[in-house]
Amino acid sequence: MLPSQIERLFDEAPAHYEEEHFWLFRDFKTALNRGEIRAAEPDASTKSGWRANAWVKKGILLGFRMGAIADMSIDASKQPFFDKSTYPVRAFAASDGVRIVPGGSSIRDGSYIGRGVICMPPMFVNVGAYVGEGTMIDSHALVGSCAQVGRNCHISAAAQIGGVLEPVGALPVIIEDEVLFGGNSGVYEGTVVKRRAVLGTGTILNRSIPVYDLVRDTVYTASDAEPLVIPEEAIVVPGSRAVSHPTGAKWGLSLQAAVIVKYRDAKTDARVQLEDLLR
């Protein structure tokens, strides 16, 4: 029922939005906050194991269309804030079991934050994002619009998880359970990082950067139809590849790449377990 109502309101915009339309959007946003609906969800029938829910993205975009610019300042004379009235800062209670450490973090309404999530300041979670139980989001980290982050992940300081709203059928970035996301790393353009992978400090993953698997002697890339997928338990670090163009070769240039140097073992698990002391 909700999907068809959202689709209809998105495709057939009225001249004026009535109270019933705002109640529909409130119901939609409440379902997002509870994790009952998601911008993307697991789908074993796809190569990546995930599929986008276009109708959910339409609902999020609908909120921007319906909202008017509103003053959201705590103290307008010292620090003014203005945004669409449909997307205030998300409200939490202590009973939600989420740690939001004082210091300037922001979580936008219309995002799911699971119990036990730790938010270190300053960090930002955008609308449509899903952050699973027990995950830590460290300082200066971004979880972009519609990004899906699994349980018990560690999103290290200054890490960037890209967002996507349009096109509505595009898969957002997926970070599965128990991924360790190194500081200053960035994952963009619908990349899927499978369960228990580790991204070394400064690793960048997107549709244009190939990933060289030294263990399995293969190269992972995105295609027009499929995203880049990082295998389970892979340990990925920044790398480079030589430029084959004659001028580039003459100048000794190289391009960015990522390299899988090993897969998780007992030593890796011991390092990751150290962060349990923070919870």
Instruction: Encode pLDDT of 202-224 as tens digits.
Output: 999 999 999 999 999 999 999 99
149-177 mean pLDDT: 96
| pLDDT score at 76 | 85
What value does the mean pLDDT of the chain take?
95
Predicted model pTM: 0.94
| pLDDT score at 265 | 87
Q: Give, in degrees to the nearest 5, the angle at Cα 98 between 93 and 102.
A: 85
Task: Report which DSSP code applies to 275.
Answer: G
| pLDDT score at 78 | 87
Q: How confident is the model at residue 276 (pLDDT cuts 50, 70, 90)?
A: low
Q: With contact defined as beta carbons under 8 Å apart, do 103 and 121 qualify?
A: yes
> Taking the CA of residue 246 as centre, how many other CA atoms within 13 Å lie in the half-sphere pointing to its CB?
0
| pLDDT score at 118 | 98
Q: Is the dihedral of CA 213, 214, 219, 221 positive or negative?
A: positive
Res 180 pLDDT > 90: yes
- Read off the pLDDT of residues 9-35 as tens digits, 9 standing for 90 and up: 999 999 999 999 999 999 999 999 999
- Read off the pLDDT of residues 112-138 as tens digits, 9 standing for 90 and up: 999 999 999 999 999 999 999 999 999
Domains of the chain: 2-68 (1.10.166.10)
Q: With contact defined as beta carbons under 8 Å apart, do 130 and 143 qualify?
A: no
| Strand bridging mode 130-131 / 148-149 | parallel
| pLDDT score at 272 | 61
Q: How confident is the model at residue 270 (pLDDT cuts 50, 70, 90)?
A: low
Find the length of the chain.
279
- Read off the pLDDT of residues 72-106 as tens digits, 9 standing for 90 and up: 998 888 889 999 999 999 999 999 999 999 999 99
Distance between CA atoms of 142 and 124, rounded to whole angstroms?
A: 5
